[in-house]
Amino acid sequence: MTKFSILFLIPFIFIACQNDRNKAAKVASHQSLKKQANIEKVFSLPKSVTFAGEKVPLNDIDVAERLDRELQTNAFWQSNMYFYLKRSKRYFPLIDSVLSSHHIPLDFKYLCVAESGLTQAESYAGALGFWQFMPQTAKEYDLIINRFIDERMSIEKSTIAACNYLNDSKKKLGNWTLVAASYNRGQQGIQNDLENQEMNSFYDLYLNSETSRYVFRIIAIKLIMENPSKYNFNLSNDEYYSPYKTKNLTITENIDDLTKFALNHNTSLKILKLLNPWLINSQVKIPHERNSIELKLPAKDSKLTVISSKAN
């Protein structure tokens, strides 16, 4: 081989070596990320799964694969699921109590998680609160929305409204899995799909991508939150957020200044709105639909305290 040939080949040899080094670096980085995220452990589906007492037909390969997708997605979205779990002990006791009193299966609390992550979320379309009510639907289910209050952000009242919606859906659709799907697709939308496709089960319907994944996401969240350690979420009891300790105060007259009201009750506007997120103005007027409103204030042994104020 001539000197010229060797010189001609050197750049190509260098590039090949560089490519090998880049590939090795990528492999090492990928393996490191896998190790950090524990991705080498893929979670198996349980042998049997139910939602609201209704069996999920895992013998159907399509159903099994769709649930598997949501289970892996949510189990490995660790930061998201971590906070779902932390919030659960603060809000599940109240939500469970309301669901039970309205004869709704407790599995529907996981629908609430799927909707909002147990936060006062607001969607680009204008849905708001734990149960993501749109304004018109909220009013149809007796939630008050005006310039002073928005009861979509009252956890108790919005859960009651959700229960009434779910019970109405059950009467129309016949089973709870279809009811869950209707929370995303709409009652009439699911009814139309059943009739047009001549089917009786959610699992047999051809649906848009969002609704197609929706029920499986709820079921995946249920599986993880009911047995978190199985999916590598090992929280100690003190890592969960505890419920706020509160007392109730019935108000029968308008409040012209919520800041002064809070100070007069040894708290702050921040804490008042934290406990009553449905208060959306600096004052509140008793709505004509009600004779009074009920506010939550910190209990004496609450850890919600005013650190510093001008009154101190």
172 and 89, same domain (yes or no): yes
60 and 198, same domain (yes or no): yes
Per-residue confidence at 18, pLDDT binned at 50, 70, 90?
A: low
Residues 213 and 297: their CA atoms lie apart, in Å, by 40
Classify residue 192: in a domain, yes or no.
Answer: yes
Pick the last residue of a domain from 191, 208, 239: 239
Per-residue confidence at 184, pLDDT binned at 50, 70, 90?
A: very high
Distances (CA, A) of 61 to 48, 57, 66, 190, 203: 14, 9, 9, 23, 11
Count: domains in the chain: 2
Where is pLDDT greater, at 28 or 119?
A: 119
Q: What is the mean pLDDT of the chain?
A: 90
Classify residue 164: in a domain, yes or no.
Answer: yes
Classify residue 312: in a domain, yes or no.
Answer: no
179 and 264, same domain (yes or no): no
CATH value at residue 81? 1.10.530.10
Residue 273 belongs to domain spanning: 246-298
Res 190 pLDDT > 60:
yes
Q: What is the CA radius of gyration of the chain?
A: 26
Pick the last residue of a domain from 239, 254, 285: 239
Residues 84 and 288: their CA atoms lie apart, in Å, by 37
Pick the last residue of a domain from 222, 239, 256: 239
Classify residue 12: in a domain, yes or no.
Answer: no
Q: What's the pLDDT tens digit per position in 264-276?
A: 999 999 999 999 9
Res 3 pLDDT > 60:
no
224 and 281, same domain (yes or no): no
Low-confidence winner among 51-65, 109-123, 191-205, 297-311 (lowest mean pLDDT): 297-311
Q: What's the pLDDT tens digit per position in 119-165?
A: 999 999 999 999 999 999 999 999 999 999 999 999 999 999 999 99
206 and 258, same domain (yes or no): no
224 and 264, same domain (yes or no): no
Q: What is the pLDDT of residue 1?
A: 54
Classify residue 45: in a domain, yes or no.
Answer: no
113 and 199, same domain (yes or no): yes
Residues 300 and 267: their CA atoms lie apart, in Å, by 11
191 and 228, same domain (yes or no): yes
